[in-house]
Amino acid sequence: MSIWSAPVATSPVVATVELPGSKSITNRAFVLAALADGPSTVRGALRSRDTNLMLNGLSELGIGVQVDPDDETTVAIEPRPMHGADVYCGLAGTVMRFLPPVAAFADGVVSFDGDGQARTRPLATILDGLRGLGVEIVGDRLPFTVTAAGAARGGQITIDASASSQFVSGLLLSAARFDDGVTIRHVGPPVPSMPHIDMTLEMLGTAGVDVERPGPDEWLVSPGPIRAVDWEIEPDLSNAAAFLAAAAVTHGAVTVPRWPATTTQPGVQIVDILAEMGCAIERSDGALTVRGPEKLTGVSIDLREVGELTPTVAALCALADGESVLSGIGHLRGHETDRLAALSTEINRLGGDCTETDDGLRISPTTMHGAVWQSYADHRMATAGALIGLVVQGVTVDDVETTSKTLPDFPGMWQKMIGHV
C-alpha cells in the first residue's frame, strides 16, 4: 500500500477521457454467458479486479473462459458442466451475490470466501432465499458453502432486499435455470439501486428470458433457456463521474467519448446532478462534455437509486457553495466499507464539515486543507480523495491501488487527464 500525492490542477482541467467497460454490465454478461445455451463473446469488457474475480470464479466452476490474446477486453465464454470449486469474491458485491445462485447448478461443494471487509457485507438475504429454492447452504455470510447436484428446484420466495438490489439481481440472473423457475417477492423498506434491477431485466430480455412483474416488488421467471448473446459493453458511467467531476471543480471541460444515447446504468444520473450544481452539459458526436462553473452550488438530493455515485457527489458537495443534503443512502453502510462513516471522517479530516444523518450526509462549505485521505479499501473513496486533492493542496491518498477494483489504471488516467504525464 502506498501513499499517493494527489496531483493539484494548476489550471482548469481540459481533457478527453476514454472509460473502460461498465463493471455492472460486464459481470452480468459473464454470468448470463456462463448459463447460456451456447458460447458467447463479450466485447469491450471491463478488466479490473471485480471482473477478473468473476472470470476466475466461473473458470474454477468449470466454465470455459478464453481471453483474446490480442485484446484483453474480448472474452469468449463457453458453458460447460460445473463442478465443486473454491470461489474467491475479493470485495466484489457482484461476485458474492451473483455466483451463489450459479453454484446451485454445479455438481459438488462450492466454497466461497473473500477479503476481510467482504465478510461483513450483507449476504444472509440471498443465502436464505436460495435455501428457500431448495439449495443446500452452510453459513450466512462469507465464508460459506453451496452443495449441489447439478440441478435445483426453485419456487417462490419472499425476501427483504432493502440492504442491496444485488440480492434480487443475483437471483434473477440464474432464475430461468431452476426446474420450477423462481418468483421473488420483496417485503420491507424500499429496495435501493432499482435501476440496477432494470439493467438485469433488460439484459435477461436480450438473452430471451422474460420476467413478469405481478407487482412493483415482485418478479416471476419461468423455467427456460438463457440464449447465448454476443455482448457489447458500454463505458462505465459511474467511473466516468469522477473524471467529469474534475471539470466541475476546476472550471474546466472534460469529454467522455462513446457516451451511450440510452442506458440502464444508474451512473448516468451524474449528468443531471452536475447540471443542478451549475455545470453546462453538451453532447456531440456521441460524446458528452461537462463544463464546470465559476463556483458549484450545493444540492439536496435523494441518491437511493444511485448510491454508487455518493463518494463523488459528496466530494463535489464539500467543494461547493452552500449546504448539501444527500439522502436515501443508509444502505451504503454495507458497501465496500461504511461509506457514510468513511466520507464524514475523511472530509472532516481535511477541515470539511460533514455529518452523518440516519440515511445520508449533510455537508457544509468550509476552507479545506491537506492531510492523508484514507481509502478503507474502497475504490470510490480513493477517487473522491483524488477529486478533492485536485483543488486542495497537500492531499495524499492512502492505498490508491484499491481503485483497481473497477479501474485498471486510475492514477495513470488521472495524471493524463490533468496533463501531468
Ligand X SMILES: C=C(OP(=O)(O)O)C(=O)O
Catalytic residues: 308
163: three-class secondary structure by DSSP: coil
Instruction: Tell me the C-alpha distance between 178 and 175, whole Å.
Output: 6
268 in Cβ contact with 241 (< 8 Å)? no
Identity of the residue, 388 or 418, whose beta carbon is nearer to ligand X in the bound complex: 388
Query: Closest approach of Cβ 271 to ligand X, in Å?
Result: 18
Which residues, in sequence order, are CB contacts of 272 under 8 Å at separation 6+? Answer: none
Q: How does DSSP assign 357-396, residue by residue?
A: ETTEEEEE-------EEP-TT-HHHHHHHHHHHTTSTT-E
Indicate which of ligand S3P, ligand X, none lies near residue 196 (CB less than 5 to 8 Å, by partner kind). Answer: ligand S3P
Q: Is 164 near ligand S3P (CB under 6 A)?
A: yes
338 sits near ligand X (criterion: CB under 6 A): no
Give CA–CA dist 382/298, Å, rounded.
22
192 binds, among ligand X, ligand S3P, none (CB under 5 to 8 A by kind): ligand S3P
CB of 325 to ligand S3P, least distance (A): 19
Q: State which of residues 26, 94, 125, 165 lies at the interface with ligand X (CB under 6 A).
A: 94
Q: Which residues, numbered 390-419, are part of the site for ligand X (CB under 6 A)?
A: 406
Q: Which of 380, 388, 403, 410 binds ligand X (CB under 6 A)?
A: 380
Residue 308 near ligand X by CB under 6 A = yes
CA distance 120 to 190: 22
380 touches, from ligand S3P, ligand X, none (C-beta below 5 to 8 Å by class) = ligand X
Q: Which of 19, 24, 240, 385 binds ligand S3P (CB under 6 A)?
A: 24
Any idea how long the chain is?
421
- Pick the stretch among 160-168, 204-212, 213-221, 274-282 that binds ligand S3P (CB under 6 A): 160-168
Cα gap 377→340, rounded to integer Å: 14
> Is 307 a binder of ligand S3P (CB under 6 A)?
yes
Q: How far is the CB of 197 from ligand S3P (least distance, A)?
A: 8
Contact 342, 376 (CB under 8 A): yes
**Do 336 and 378 form a contact (C-beta atoms < 8 A)?**
yes
Listed residue (135, 60, 52) closest to 92, CA to CA: 52
Q: Exactly one of 335, 363, 395, 410 binds ligand X (CB under 6 A); which one? A: 335
The x, y and z cell numbers of residue 96, run together, are 458474492
**Residues making up the binding site for phosphoenolpyruvate:** 23, 93, 121, 166, 339, 380, 405
Residue 86 has phi, psi (to 5 degrees) of: -105, 125
The footprint of ligand S3P on residues 204-243 (CB under 6 A) is none
d(CA 359, CA 239): 23
Q: Name the site residues for ligand S3P (rule: CB under 6 A).
A: 24, 93-94, 164-166, 169, 192-193, 196, 307-308, 331
Q: Name the site residues for ligand X (rule: CB under 6 A).
A: 92-94, 308, 335-336, 380, 406
